[in-house]
Amino acid sequence: QGSRISLQQIAQSDAYRTNLGLVEAAGENATVLVHVFDNAGNPLAQIPESLLPSEHLQLNNFLQTNGIALTDGRIEVEITSPTGKVSAYASVVDNLTNDPLVVFPVTRGSVSATRYVIPGVADLNNGFASWRSDLRLFNSGASPVTATLAYSPQPNNQGASGPAQITIQPGQVYPVDSALFSLYGITDTGGSILVTTPSNSGLVVTARTFDQTSNGTFGQFIPAVTPADAIGVGDRSLQLLQLESSDRYRTNIGLAETSGNPATARVSLILPDSKFAIHVDVPLAANQFVQLPLAGFNAGTVYNGRVTVSVTSGSGRVTAYGSVIDQTTQDPTYVPAQ
At 156-171, the pLDDT tens digits run 888 887 999 999 999 9
Q: Residues of 130-141 as b/e, b for ≥16 C-beta within 10 angstroms?
A: bbbbbbbbbbbb
pLDDT for residue 84 is more than 80: yes
DSSP state of 181: H
pLDDT for residue 108 is more than 90: no
Whole-number Å distance between alpha carbons of 225 and 312: 20
Q: What does the mean pLDDT of the chain come to? A: 95
| CB of 231 closer than 8 Å to CB of 317 | yes
| CB of 92 closer than 8 Å to CB of 12 | no
Q: Residues of 211-232 as b/e, b for ≥16 C-beta within 10 angstroms?
A: bebeebbbbbbbbbbbbebbbb
Stronger pLDDT, 160 or 49, i.e. the higher one? 49
First and final CA of the chain: distance in angstroms? 27
Task: Write the CA distances from 7 to 34, 72, 101, 167, 246, integer angstroms.
Answer: 11, 11, 12, 21, 33
pLDDT for residue 207 is more than 90: yes
Tally of CB atoms within 10 A around 20: 25
pLDDT for residue 1 is more than 70: no
pLDDT for residue 109 is more than 90: no
Strands of 56-59's sheet in order across: 56-59, 16-24, 86-94, 100-103
Q: What are phi and psi of 28, to 5 degrees?
A: -135, 160
**What count of Cα atoms within 13 Å lies in the side-chain half-sphere of residue 303?**
3
Whole-number Å distance between alpha carbons of 335 and 67: 33
Give mean pLDDT, residues 31-40: 97
Give mean pLDDT, residues 179-188: 95
Q: Residues of 295-323 as b/e, b for ≥16 C-beta within 10 angstroms?
A: eebeeeebeebbbbbbbeebebbbbbbbb
Whole-number Å distance between alpha carbons of 303 and 272: 8
* Residue 127 banded pLDDT, cuts 50, 70, 90: confident
pLDDT for residue 275 is more than 80: no
Region of poorest pLDDT, from 197-206, 212-221, 232-241: 212-221
Tally of CB atoms within 10 A around 240: 25
Beta pairing partners, 20: 59, 90
Taking the C-alpha atoms of 50, 51, 56 and 58 in order, what is their torsion angle to the nearest 10 degrees? -10
pLDDT for residue 157 = 87
Whole-number Å distance between alpha carbons of 275 and 289: 30
Give mean pLDDT, residues 18-25: 98
- The verdict on pTM exceeding 0.85 is yes
